[in-house]
């Protein structure tokens, strides 16, 4: 069975090698998320080391999917830092290791992320993904609304400038309830 955990800083440290393997698997396999291939294991470890601090400071929540104690996937929730955005957070680094795909792990990670977001008072989520990628229909199935496309936003796996599609999801339907929380 799949276990989803919201990592403490110590748990990030415990899983840092596996998280680096996961990030390398994704980036070197064609995923477009902040890095370009080839991504070295050392670069990936360095990234996750900075994430330890983000988790410790509450600037990021890292959810990890464990399957038989192995890191199978992850996703990050990054609360907006701006004082006028106490309700907003960005979804980043949704990754499922190539050896564990097609088992519903991404769906479970996103569902767990939404629970954490609501617990933290973050009911407006947003994210981006490479236009034309397999992630677009996945996010739409998860209830995310397409905001638009920005051309030439990022360099993709092939070293070409590629368009990025932006999505959002309101976790609350009733704006009046949300406004009472301000």
pLDDT digits (tens, 9 = 90+) for 101-127: 999 999 999 999 999 999 999 999 999
Q: Do 32 and 130 contact (CB within 8 A), yes or no?
A: yes
pLDDT at 159: 85
Which two tokens mark 16? 């840092």
pLDDT at 174: 61
Q: Do 126 and 150 contact (CB within 8 A), yes or no?
A: no
Q: Which residues contact 46 (CB under 8 A, 6 or more apart)?
A: none
> Which segments in the chain show pLDDT lower than 70?
174-182
pTM of the full predicted structure? 0.94
Instruction: Give the sign of the dihedral formed by CA 66, CA 97, CA 52, CA 79.
Output: negative
């Amino acid at each position: 069975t799949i276990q989803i955990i919201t990592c403490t800083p110590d748990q990030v440290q415990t899983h840092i090698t596996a998280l680096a393997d996961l990030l390398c698997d994704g980036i070197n396999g064609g995923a477009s998320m902040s890095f370009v291939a080839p991504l070295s294991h050392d670069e990936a470890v360095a990234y996750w080391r900075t994430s330890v601090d983000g988790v410790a400071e509450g600037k990021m929540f890292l959810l990890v999917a464990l399957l038989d104690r192995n890191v199978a996937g992850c996703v990050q929730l990054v609360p907006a830092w701006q004082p006028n955005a106490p309700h907003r957070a960005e979804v980043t680094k949704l990754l499922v290791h190539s050896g564990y795909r097609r088992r519903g792990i991404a769906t479970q990670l996103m569902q767990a992320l939404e629970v954490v977001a609501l617990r933290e008072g973050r009911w407006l989520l947003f994210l981006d993904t490479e236009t034309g990628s397999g992630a677009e229909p996945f996010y739409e199935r998860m209830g995310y609304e397409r905001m638009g496309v920005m051309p030439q936003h990022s360099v993709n796996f092939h070293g070409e400038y590629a368009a990025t599609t932006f999505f959002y999801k309101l976790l609350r339907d009733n704006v009046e309830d949300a406004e009472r929380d301000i």
